[in-house]
Amino acid sequence: MADFEKLRPETLAAQALGLIDEASGAIIPSIHPSTTYLRDPDNGYRRGRVYSRADNPTYEQAAALLSALEGGADSLLFASGMAAATAVFLALSPGDHVVVPKVMYWALRAWLHETATHWGLLVEEVDTADPQAVRAALRPGRTRLVWLESPANPLWTVSDIAAIAELAHQAGALLAVDSTVATPVFTRPLGLGADIVMHSATKYLNGHSDVVAGTLTTARQDAFWGRIRQVLTRHGAVLGPFEAWLLQRGMRTLFVRVRAAAAAAQRLAERLQAHGRVDSVLYPGLPGFPGHDLAARQMQGGFGAMLSIRVKGGAAAAIATAAEVRLWKRATSLGGVESLIEHRASIEGPTTPVPADLLRLSVGLEAADDLFDDLDQALNRTGSLR
């Protein structure tokens, strides 16, 4: 068998680490629906698995592949991205201070405001695109965690993972990164100094809009990771074995999917930038974008497949444009093979920091020019209505 340690990530993903089912010789892993495992006659559990709220061979396959792709020591699968993200905060203690981005994935921001503060965390929001703002917010000895999302929903703000990892560590804090949008194809946060990387595996890792899942990967197996594992198994927000199996299958095509979608996103961003009905395009791959130079250093080989456009004519024009598309699907979420369009401000409500004229675009695997043509007719039609 090939020495999988030495192979490139594309190869690891395509063969899901080359695992073969010992009993049958099957080259595709089995799904293990069993909730429980046989105990040895002497009362031990030598095979290491007791009960599927904690242990299941199907979880192990997906987790091992993800650890290899992220360059981590261990990974855990959760019932959703939110379950994974909140487990990191719940592994802290009441009274701990955490630094989070001002603009970030909406539901996590809402949870931090509603639940985490109520539970006793001191949550401080900063503009994480500016490492000096992070430095100023850190309280040595009190700050336990810095949370980043890069590029961050839905303005695609890029944060400097290596610089902020250093600042966080100097202050005695850990750095966790929501890398859902970058994916391990473009960024490996642990290699840049982060301690934990999180994914909404609902998005690119699974990639087919048919599984809700979340993951965490750690740089080290330490006491904090032990607490996170305990949150998972005690709260019980585990992924089922069928979903875990679909997730490992989805990850096998991660590299081709994500690279193709990002190439299409780059082309769309460039064409939309020249569109008369578009006020601005937010995409890290555009040279004029504020985070472009940092993204070019931090992201390897592409800028992701998420972009936003600000439509001339404000909220009404943006909503009308989304109403006129025929090929794009009007839906929330991202990272599937089909392209999605969404007016974010109306989802996020009155406290959102998102501009009212913004449409978020998740670029899938259709031909970029078909996607452009559809948006073009929608933008023009909306323009001529007024």
Ligand X SMILES: *Cc1c(COP(=O)(O)O)cnc(C)c1O
Which residues contribute to the site for ligand X (CB under 6 A)?
Answer: 80-82, 85, 105, 108, 149, 153, 178, 180-181, 200, 202-203, 212, 214, 334
- 51 carries an active-site annotation: no
Per-position b or e across 98-125, b if 16+ CB within 10 A of its CB: bbbbbbbbbbbbebbeeebeeeebbbbb
The CB-of-22 to ligand X minimum distance in angstroms stands at 32
Which is the catalytic residue, given 96, 178, 357, 374? 178
Given the complex with ligand X, which of 87 and 165 has the nearer CB atom? 87
Cα separation, 89 vs 146, in Å, equals: 10
CA neighbor of 371 nearest in space, from 313, 295, 285, 309: 309
CB of 128 to ligand X, least distance (A): 14
Find out whether 291 and 151 touch, Cβ atoms under 8 Å: yes
Which of 37, 53, 259, 279 is an active site residue? 53
Tell me if residue 178 is catalytic. Answer: yes
When CB distances to ligand X are compared, the closest residue is 81
Nearer to ligand X, 138 or 161 (CB): 161
HEC string of 344-366? Answer: HHHHHCCCCCCCCCEEEEECCCC
Query: Which of these, 4, 64, 57, lies nearest to 217 by C-alpha position?
Result: 64
Judged by beta carbon, residue 153 or residue 280, the one nearer ligand X is 153
> Which position among 59, 105, 204, 283 bears the catalytic label?
105
Nearest approach in angstroms of CB 316 to ligand X is 26
303 within 8 A of 262, measured Cβ to Cβ: yes
The answer to whether the CB of 63 falls within 8 A of the CB of 197 is: no
Query: Least distance in Å: CB of 153 to ligand X?
Result: 5
Which residues are CB-neighbours of 384 under 8 A, at least 6 positions away?
none
228 to 59, 223, 278: CA distances (angstroms): 16, 9, 44
337 is written with which tokens? 């093979």
- CA separation for the pair 258, 306 (Å, rounded): 11
Cβ distance to ligand X smaller for residue 84 or 325: 84
Enter the DSSP assignment of 144.
E
Query: Closest distance between ligand X and the C-beta of residue 213, in Å?
Result: 6
Comparison of 180 and 352: residue with beta carbon closer to ligand X: 180
**In this complex, which beta carbon is closest to ligand X, that of residue 17 or of residue 340?**
340
Shortest Å, Cβ 179 to ligand X: 8
**Closest distance to ligand X from the beta carbon of 74 (Å):** 20
Of the two residues 97 and 203, which places its CB atom closer to ligand X in the complex? 203
For residue 316, what are the contacts with CB-CB under 8 A and spacing of at least 6? none
89 vs 147: CA distance, rounded Å: 9
Is residue 45 part of the annotated active site? The answer reads no
Residue with tokens 């005695």: 172
Q: How far apart are CA 180 and CA 183, in angstroms?
A: 5
Determine whether 360 is an active site residue.
Answer: no
Residue position matching structure tokens 């970030």: 104
Helix, strand, or coil (residue 72): coil
Residues labelled catalytic: 53, 105, 178, 203
